[in-house]
Chains A and B, each alone.
Chain A
Amino acid sequence: AQKITQTQPGMFVQEKEAVTLDCTYDTSDPSYGLFWYKQPSSGEMIFLIYQGSYDQQNATEGRYSLNFQKARKSANLVISASQLGDSAMYFCAMRPQGGSEKLVFGKGTKLTVNP
């Protein structure tokens, strides 16, 4: 069975600094996809970044980058130059192989950006 582990229930960062949110995963599938979503207090799930298991380079999207270490089965999210609006819950998710697009989510990390 696939599993996503986020070990940081909460993280704090100063505005304008960088922060890393940890995510490890467990799967026996050779092909899979890894996602990060942001969920502000309003509840909507906002897609941030995607990494395919066969992608050679780490994914980047603006201030977001994914530190993908396949051998360690980790997919940490790095947010650079944190902004107050980055305060939210962050979920790591995995899409297993098999033709289904369903996602398995981690428990999430609550990020608080301090001014």
Chain B
Amino acid sequence: GAVVSQHPSRVICKSGTSVKIECRSLDFQATTMFWYRQFPKQSLMLMATSNEGSKATYEQGVEKDKFLINHASLTLSTLTVTSAHPEDSSFYICSACPGQTYEQYFGPGTRLTVT
């Protein structure tokens, strides 16, 4: 099946700093990628839809100025958590769709810890 990678897999940062997470589709082009957030023992919550070449669409309640999304190419989307705080500590997962198919492939996730 198609492969989606995320980098880094784990990151620890200090409060107030910014962290960038990369999501790459390795063997297919994805015009649309999705960013999810998952708190411990909870479900995945969609944060935003990342569209190549255009602005991301954010879900209600997600601060677009805090969670910056850039989808600069058909294989790369980045999520930047700006001025991170301990409450931003979570598991962030991206997914991508090859298009013309129902399948959606997830990255392995990034565990962010803000101290």
Contact = CB atoms under 8 A, between A and B. Distances in A.
Q: Do A and B bind each other?
A: yes
Contacts of A35: 104
Given A43-B108, A44-B108, A45-B95, A103 B102 contact: no
Contacts, number: 54
Contacts of A52: 102
B interface, size bucket: 20 to 34
A100 interface: yes
B46 A103 contact: yes
Contacts of A43: 91, 93, 108-109, 111
Contacts of A33: 102
Interface stretch (A16-24, A62-70, A75-83, A105-113): A105-113
B97 A101 contact: yes
Interface string B52-73: 0000000000000000000000
The SS class assigned to the B binding surface is strand
Interface string A6-40: 00000000000000000000000000010101000
Contact of B43 (A42, A91, A100): A91
A44 B97 contact: no
A101 B107 CA distance: 16
B25 interface: no
B43 A105 contact: yes
Nearest to B32: A101
Given A43-B109, A44-B109, A105 B102 contact: no
Interface of B: 1, 32, 34, 42-46, 49, 91, 93, 95, 97, 102-109, 111
Interface of A: 33, 35, 37, 42-47, 50, 52, 91, 95, 100-108
9 contacts: A44-B107, A45-B44, A50-B102, A91-B43, A91-B44, A102-B46, A103-B34, A103-B95, A104-B46
